[in-house]
Amino acid sequence: MNHMNAHTLDQAWLTSWRNDINRALTSLLTTFEATYGYPPGENRIAPAGDRPSARESNSHPDPPATLTVFYRTIHEVLLPDIGNGYFVHPLDHVLNELTKQGPVCLPESTQGVVFGSDGGGILYAISQGGTIYRSRVASRDFDFAPLTPDLTDFLDQLRHATIRFIANGQPGWL
C-alpha cells in the first residue's frame, strides 16, 4: 500500500501527538468518576525513558522501522477508559511476545508484529512494510484485516477516537 501522509513520524510529531492526547485526558480525568460512577484507570501516554530497552539479540526479526521510531519517543499508551480501551504495549513486551510466540500471519502471506490491543482483546499488528492490521477476533490465530496504511494514520485515528470519546462518549471504531 502506498500512502502519502502529510505527517512524518518523527520525534517532534510524536511529542505533539502525545501532548495533544494527554492534554485532552486532563479534562476527562477531572470529571470521570462523577460521570461514570467509578474511578478512572491509569490513562496516559508515557514518554520513552532515558535507558534503551532490553533486546534479545538475534532471537527474532527486527521490528518494522516505524515502530522503532515510535519507541524512541513513546514508551507505551494506556487508555483503558477510552471506549473499550486502547493500548500500545511497551517495546520490551512486544519483543518478548515476538520471541515467545513469533510473528502473526497477515494477509498475502505477510508476517506482522503485534504491538497493541483494545480492551476487548482485539490485536493491532504492523507489517514490515508499515501497514497496520486489526484482528477480526480476540486472537493471534485468526484473520487480520488491513486497518490503516501506516502507523502515523493509526495514531491519528487513535487521537481522534480519544478526543471524540472525551467530547461525546462515542469512541468510534479503531
Q: What is the CATH number of the domain that holds 32?
A: 3.40.1580
How far apart (Å, rounded) are the C-alpha atoms in residues 91 and 66?
Answer: 13
| Number of domains forming the structure of the chain | 1
Other Cβ atoms within 10 Å of 129 Cβ, number: 15
Domain presence at residue 2: no
Domain presence at residue 3: no
Domain presence at residue 112: yes
Distances (CA, A) of 10 to 26, 58, 82, 172: 25, 26, 25, 26
- 43 grid coordinates: 490513562
- 36 grid coordinates: 461514570
Domain presence at residue 1: no
Domain hosting 36: range is 11-168
How far apart (Å, rounded) are the C-alpha atoms in residues 101 and 103?
Answer: 7
Domain presence at residue 152: yes
Confidence bin at 108 (pLDDT 50/70/90): confident
Question: Average pLDDT in the 61-73 region?
Answer: 88
pLDDT over 90 (residue 59): no
How does the average pLDDT of the chain come out, rounded?
88
pLDDT digits (tens, 9 = 90+) for 109-129: 899 999 999 999 999 999 999
Domain presence at residue 173: no
pLDDT digits (tens, 9 = 90+) for 1-19: 334 445 678 999 999 999 9
pLDDT over 70 (residue 151): yes
How far apart (Å, rounded) are the C-alpha atoms in residues 91 and 71?
Answer: 7
Q: Is 110 helix (H, G, I), strand (E, B) or coil?
A: strand
How far apart (Å, rounded) are the C-alpha atoms in residues 83 and 28?
Answer: 12
Domain presence at residue 6: no
| E strand map for the chain | 44-47, 74-79, 86-88, 104-106, 110-118, 123-127, 132-135, 144-148
Domain presence at residue 114: yes
